[in-house]
Amino acid sequence: MGLLGFKNFPGKGSFPHGIHPPDHKTLSAGSAIEVIPPPAKVVLPLLQNIGAPCEPVVKPKQEVAFGELIGIGKAFVSASLHAPISGKIQKIGVTTLPNGRHLPAIFIKADENQMSGQALWDEVLGGDWPKDCPGAHNPETISKAINDAGVVGLGGAAFPTHVKIMPDDKKIINTLMINGCECEPYLTPDYRLMVEAPGAIVTGALLAGRTVAAKEIVVCVEDNKPEAIEKLREAARDTVIKIAVLKTKYPQGSEKQLIKAVLNLEVPLGGLPGDVGVAMSNVGTIAAVARGVIKGKPLTHRVISVTGAGVVNPKNILTPIGISLGEVIEFCGGLTRDAARMIAGGPMMGFAFSDLNTPVTKGTSGVTVLTHEDVRKDEETSCVRCGRCVDACPMKLVPTRLAMAARYEKVSLAETYNIMACFECGCCTYVCPANIKLVQLIRIGKAQIAASRKK
Amino acid sequence: MINPMTKKPNKNKVEQGTNEEAPAIHVAPSPHISDSVFTTRKMMVDVLIALLPLVFMSIYIFEFYAVKQLVICLASCLGAEALFVKIRHKSFTLTDFSAVVTAIILALSLPGTAPWYVGVIASVVAISIGKIIFGGLGMNIFNPAMVGRAFVMISFASVMGAAAYTDAGAVVDAITQATPMDAFKQTGVTGSISHLFWGLTNGSLGETSAIAALIGGLYLCIRRTASWEIPAGIFTAVFLIAGAADVSGAFSGHLVLHHLFGGALLFGAFFIATDPVTSPLTSKGKFIFGIGTGLFIMLFRLFSGYPEGVMFAVLLMNAVTPLINRWTIPRPLGEV
């Protein structure tokens, strides 16, 4: 299948190295997206993108309507924030995210008139998505609409989308890639979105393609999602959009790996996809773009998976941003007795959290709850230099060297071995037969380098 | 089922936690899952499985002589490991099976005729100077078994030299003949290739049977416990140099097969040179390591006073491994 789908692209349909962890996607892949009932309150951190935080434009006790602007992203790399429910601002307090950051956040208490169920689905993802629309919108208005809607990358990195999807005469974009790989084990929100709302993805892709003046638009999906591929093909019929079917491998959804796999181009170290003429957006992001441009509605809801053997009823749900992770777990039947670790995101790159009040942010793609059996880890033994980590590293680094350099604080050795090229996918730790926490040590090494550069 | 909003997980009700006191929910940095199938201990067990055909052939051919060396080396290596680990106040390491692997490889590299103290001294040196002195498993620069063997070979030249392999009065047939490598060194005539292939010749206990080494070695490579690049490099170098010698001496192919199947070449290529600790990390580095080992083997075999050169070749390349690692730092994806 990969080979057949790959005759139209210069890449091989896969990238060098990487791993094949069991994906456990069947836990939640079959359940259609459910709309979670409106929560009694939401907590919205002012920083939900990779850039600068937004500035609140509301005051405590103020009434806000569903979709109303509550925080404005003034910096170029920043994103605005909107009320996902109607209600009253309680306070501007502080919350802690799973990545450990304490952030100021807007607390909103819900009032009685909430949109819910099918009406909310229709509002966010339902309805007709025109395929002939791009002509009606010019690139500047599309980019502005994306900015106004506060769209950020929903795949996890939360990069403000208007920065990527904007007209730029100096930067030529040959290919717009829509990332539907979802290589992270367990998670299925992108899969369900591709199956249930392919129209929004197609429309968003066409709009974004027009904005960056892309010569081609490619939606990239791994071959373990045949139903999504079929639905997308159907929705993209009679459009310029091409579907690339890739061989399933982790971390294919990483943009550098995906560009290598599809286009056989290498993004320079420290560079961005734009340097090789590529713009990339996740399928969820691009659906939010469609909503922002066609309906003029901001990013207030997203699809997440709540999955893993530690959850009673794994599900995919459409949830407001700002709902607590505890509530979404409760909606899925709660934790099982042997639940051991709750993760915001997937098991490879997600952040473990312990506070159930932690809110869902724009970048939260799901909650994975693992059991004691899943996270069982044997004691660390000596590195026997078997080279498995070298064979697994998708950036072609030498993880064991980097990790040992970090452990013994040898900053220059770590730099010789290109430690900053590591994007922390975790393949090395996954494969290590000696159970050495390689990527964890490498993170420490990167911090050591950052500290030494400050001196 | 626990309702996370109303009831916090109870510390005392952990059913599958490793101990009663462990909290039900804990946090750790990602990744949260690992490949539990493949561990260092399983790598060592893989090597032991792969060594079985060689152990079997050595006992079949050398009978009591092979059993004696295996028992001596196993007992000495395990004893030495336990003793030195205790002296260093380190945790018990016998369960990682690395000492067992060292013991069997060492035993199989000794002649059946060697007296008991040779095996004992070689074992103690292999574990102490070969491994523990550097900091234990994973830290050593040289292959421990080869360090032990080199020590006794130089210390006890009279019982380890090529001539000492032969004992005209031995009850086991193989030992009454000269080793094929020594015979070639002395007379310049290659022996029966089929005898080399099946292993019905004299030599170090585990090296004689080419077929046994091939079966075990292929198993290791298929399981990716050994890196195929190292034997591939060795075979390439040996094939080219022996091929040149073959053509210049008009051996019509016999000499190439003699060098590939004879002596410790296959045993060394699959089981000794592939020791991950003492060989390079990257594919490219491993291939260079293999080529270098093959070159040295042929250099010793053709031009030195010794009939065989696998041990010294591996030790020399072990010394070069850090350099090879430095030369072969891989180019990261995207580096120009």
Q: CA B200, B204, B205, B208 torsion: positive or negative?
A: negative
Asked if A111 and A39 touch (Cβ cutoff 8 Å), the reply is no
| Residue A402 within any structural domain of the chain | yes
Same domain, A262 and A408: no
Residue B307 pLDDT > 50: yes
Total domains in the fold of chain A: 2
Same domain, A152 and A274: yes
Please state, in angstroms and rounded to a whole number, the distance separating the CA atoms of residues B47 and B55. 12
Domain boundary among A275, A295, A315: A295
Strand A87-96 and strand A102-110: the pairing is antiparallel
Residue B3 pLDDT > 50: no
| Residue A96 within any structural domain of the chain | no
Q: CA A8 → CA A2, A12, A15, A244, distances in Å?
A: 11, 10, 17, 8
Domain boundary among A276, A295, A314: A295
What mean pLDDT is predicted for residues B251-259? Answer: 87
Q: Which helix (H) or strand (E) holds A161?
A: helix A161-164
Question: Please, what's the b/e burial string for B241-275 (b: 16 or more CB within 10 A of its CB; e: otherwise)?
Answer: bbeebbeeeebeebbbbbbbbbbbbbbbbbbbbbb
| Residue A114 within any structural domain of the chain | no
- Cβ-nearest to B5 among A330, A390, A395: A330
The residue among A292, A352, A351, A355 whose CA lies nearest residue A327 is A355
Biggest CA–CA distance in chain B, Å, is: 89
Residue B40 pLDDT > 90: no
Residue B16 pLDDT > 70: no
Name the residue range of residue A286's domain: 4-31+119-295
Residue A38 pLDDT > 60: yes
Q: CA A289, A295, A299, A300 torsion: positive or negative?
A: negative
Please state, in angstroms and rounded to a whole number, the distance separating the CA atoms of residues A454 and A128. 53
SS3 state at A80: coil
User: pLDDT tens, A301-333?
Assistant: 999 999 999 999 999 999 999 999 999 999 999
Question: Which residues of chain A are within 8 Å of residue B25 when distances are taken between CB atoms?
Answer: 339-342, 354
- Residue B2's pLDDT band (boundaries 50, 70, 90)? very low
- Contacting residues for B7 by C-beta, under 8 A, at least 6 apart: none
Question: Which residues of chain A are within 8 Å of residue B29 when distances are taken between CB atoms?
Answer: 352, 437, 440, 443
Biggest CA–CA distance in chain A, Å, is: 63
- Cβ-nearest to A337 among B15, B26, B334: B15
What is the model's pLDDT at position B93?
Answer: 67
| Residue A445 within any structural domain of the chain | yes
- Residue B152's pLDDT band (boundaries 50, 70, 90)? very high
- Single pTM value for the model: 0.89
Query: Percent of chain A at pLDDT above 90?
Result: 79
Phi, psi of A78 (to 5 degrees): -165, 175
* Chain B CB within 8 Å of residue A329 CB: yes
Cβ separation of A268 and B330 shorter than 8 Å? no
CATH at A232: 3.40.50.11540
Domain boundary among A261, A295, A329: A295
Asked if A388 and B282 touch (Cβ cutoff 8 Å), the reply is no
Of 1.10.3430, 3.30.230, 3.40.220, 1.10.3470, the CATH number of B40-320 is 1.10.3430
Angle made by CA atoms A15, A21, A25, in degrees to the nearest 5: 105
Cβ separation of A338 and B16 shorter than 8 Å? yes
* Chain B CB within 8 Å of residue A381 CB: yes
- Of the residues A337, A393, A400, A442, the best mutation for testing chain B's interface (the one with the most B CB atoms within 10 Å of its CB) is A337
How far does the CA of residue A22 sit from the closest CA of chain B (Å)?
9
Q: Which amino acid is at A370?
A: L
User: pLDDT tens, A89-116?
Assistant: 999 999 999 988 899 999 999 998 888 8
Strand A81-82 and strand A69-72: the pairing is antiparallel
- Of the residues B333, B335, B336, the best mutation for testing chain A's interface (the one with the most A CB atoms within 10 Å of its CB) is B333
- Of the residues A15, A250, A386, A397, the best mutation for testing chain B's interface (the one with the most B CB atoms within 10 Å of its CB) is A386
DSSP 8-state class, residue A434: T
In DSSP notation, B51-70 reads: HHHHHHHHHHHHTHHHHHHH
What is the model's pLDDT at position B4?
Answer: 45
Same domain, A404 and A264: no
- Residue A134's pLDDT band (boundaries 50, 70, 90)? low
- Residue A380's pLDDT band (boundaries 50, 70, 90)? confident
Same domain, A290 and A407: no
Query: Percent of chain B at pLDDT above 70?
Result: 92
In terms of phi and psi (left: phi > 0; alpha: psi -120 to 50; beta: otherwise), the region of A278 is: beta
Question: Which residues of chain A are within 8 Å of residue B102 when distances are taken between CB atoms?
Answer: none
Cβ separation of B333 and A260 shorter than 8 Å? yes
Q: Using CA atoms in the order A256, A261, A266, A269, what is the torsion angle rounded to 10 degrees? A: 30
| Residue A93 within any structural domain of the chain | no
In A234-263, the residues whose Cβ lies within 8 Å of chain B are 256-257, 260
Helical spans, DSSP H, in A283-381: 283-290, 325-331, 372-375
- Cβ-nearest to B138 among A266, A348, A383: A383
In DSSP notation, A208-224 reads: HHHHHT-SEEEEEEETT
Please state, in angstroms and rounded to a whole number, the distance separating the CA atoms of residues A328 and B110. 66
- Cβ-nearest to A387 among B14, B42, B281: B281
